[in-house]
């Protein structure tokens, strides 16, 4: 008992230690991951405050200034309708961010729900869910996305749900194997022996142990979701114009003018590449810092989590 008292005392000194620990290690050990985090933060700020930051309207055409090269007035030039490219890219980031974060969040929710239930309950439910996972894994990602967007239409909500649920079903297998590994631990037998019911076991014992996995799934899916949205928009199946999207700016309609206006071809793709690169680095860093198999020696993060939990219990 004394050791628990000691731990809770030390964690009182460092408040939010689990979070702080994570970010300290990110900056100290993962320079590329830190760069990724900065890219994500810039994207976040630009998207949320797009109406303040963007110098022009992203949709209003101004034919007088059409197809102007980069200049002081229009840093990244203008498109065939005279719209400022910089403003369109900033607003386009909004769509990428919403879809990237939203779909990844749905990924995690669906994967956790399905993986938890099918991994923990097993039986016919597991068999059924696994067949759905097989189906979701067998259809090429872009093909199923194109089909579903065709079926449900291309709104922001539809895109988030389509990518979120489809990806979530695929991730469910990862969560499931994690849950099955946790289930075979001795403390699960102990919990069962003292008469815990299923609900209690899932919420108090399994769920906290798959939390790191959920964070990893979230951060590694963001890049893929942003890329998928851009691909759909590029094919003309994403959000309909005039809503600016990075993929849509590169699509067939814009390509006709690129031969005379190179800046139309460069900038949307360059920004997309930097964002994908940053988000990937961020996701890799999160995985390296949280995945116990990649972490050398004693788990520092789970140690911090445990301290946090003990603190909650004792306070």
Partner 1 sequence: MGNYIIRRILLLIPTFLLLTILVFMLIRLMPGSVIELMVMQHSHEQAGQQQIDVEAIRRMVGLDKPILTQYWEWLSGLIRGDMGKSLWTQKNVTTDVIARLPVTFELGILAFIIAQIIAFPIGILSAIRQDSIGDYFARSFAILAVAIPSFWLATMVMVFPSIWWGWSPPERYIPITENLGLNLQQFLIPATILGFGMAGLTVRMLRTTMLDVLRQDYVRTAWAKGLRERVVLVRHVLKNAAIPVVTIISGQIGVVIGGAVIMEQIFNIPGMGRLFVDAIQTRDYPYITGMNAFFSTVGLITILLTDLSYAWLDPRIRYK
Interface residues with partner 1 (CB under 8 A) are 131-132, 134-135, 137-144, 146-148, 150-153, 227, 230-231, 234-235, 237, 247, 250, 252, 255, 258-259, 262, 265-266, 268-269, 272-274, 276-277, 280-281
Contact 164, 114 (CB under 8 A): no
Closest to partner 1 by CB, 180 or 266: 266
Q: How far is the CB of 212 from partner 1 (least distance, A)?
A: 19
Contact 66, 81 (CB under 8 A): yes
Closest to partner 1 by CB, 11 or 280: 280
Closest to partner 1 by CB, 122 or 208: 122
Q: How far is the CB of 298 from partner 1 (least distance, A)?
A: 20
Closest to partner 1 by CB, 234 or 301: 234
Between CA 166 and CA 142 the distance in angstroms is 11
- The phi-psi region of residue 260 (left if phi > 0; otherwise alpha if psi is between -120 and 50; otherwise beta) is alpha
Task: State the Cα angle at 179 between 226 and 125, rounded to 5°.
Answer: 90
Closest to partner 1 by CB, 271 or 305: 271
Quick one: DSSP state of residue 292?
A: T
Between CA 177 and CA 122 the distance in angstroms is 11
Closest to partner 1 by CB, 197 or 260: 260
Between CA 181 and CA 109 the distance in angstroms is 20
Q: How far is the CB of 23 from partner 1 (least distance, A)?
A: 23
Quick one: DSSP state of residue 68?
A: P
Return the exposure string of 183-211: e unless at least 16 CB atoms fall within 10 Å of the residue's CB, then b. Answer: beeeebeebeeeebeeeebbeebbbebbe
Q: How far is the CB of 68 from partner 1 (least distance, A)?
A: 17
């Amino acid at each position: 008992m004394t050791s628990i008292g000691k731990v809770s005392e030390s964690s009182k000194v460092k408040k939010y230690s689990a979070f702080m620990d994570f970010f300290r290690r990110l900056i100290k050990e993962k320079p590329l991951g830190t760069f990724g985090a900065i890219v994500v933060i810039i994207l976040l700020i630009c998207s949320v405050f797009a109406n303040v930051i963007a110098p022009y309207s992203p949709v209003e055409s101004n034919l007088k200034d059409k197809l102007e090269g980069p200049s002081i007035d229009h840093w990244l030039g203008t498109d065939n309708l005279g719209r400022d490219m910089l403003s369109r890219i900033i607003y386009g980031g909004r769509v990428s961010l919403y879809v990237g974060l939203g779909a990844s969040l749905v990924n995690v929710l669906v994967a956790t729900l399905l993986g938890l239930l099918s991994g923990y309950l097993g039986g016919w439910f597991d068999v059924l869910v696994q067949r759905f996972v097989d189906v979701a894994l067998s259809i090429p990602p872009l093909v199923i996305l194109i089909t579903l967007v065709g079926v449900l239409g291309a709104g922001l909500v539809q895109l988030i749900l389509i990518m979120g649920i489809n990806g979530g079903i695929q991730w469910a297998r990862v969560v499931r194997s994690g849950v099955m590994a946790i289930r075979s631990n001795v403390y699960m037998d102990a919990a069962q022996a003292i008469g815990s019911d299923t609900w209690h076991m899932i919420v108090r014992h399994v769920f906290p142990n798959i939390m790191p996995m959920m964070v990893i799934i979230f951060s590694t899916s963001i890049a893929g979701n942003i890329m998928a949205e851009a691909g759909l928009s590029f094919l003309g199946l994403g959000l309909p114009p005039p809503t600016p999207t990075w993929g849509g700016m590169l699509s067939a309609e814009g390509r006709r003018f690129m031969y005379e206006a190179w800046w139309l071809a460069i900038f949307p793709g360059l920004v997309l590449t930097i964002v994908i690169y940053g988000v990937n680095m961020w996701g890799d860093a999160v995985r390296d810092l949280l995945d116990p198999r990649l972490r050398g020696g004693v788990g520092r993060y789970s140690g911090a989590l445990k301290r946090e939990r003990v603190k909650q219990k004792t306070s």
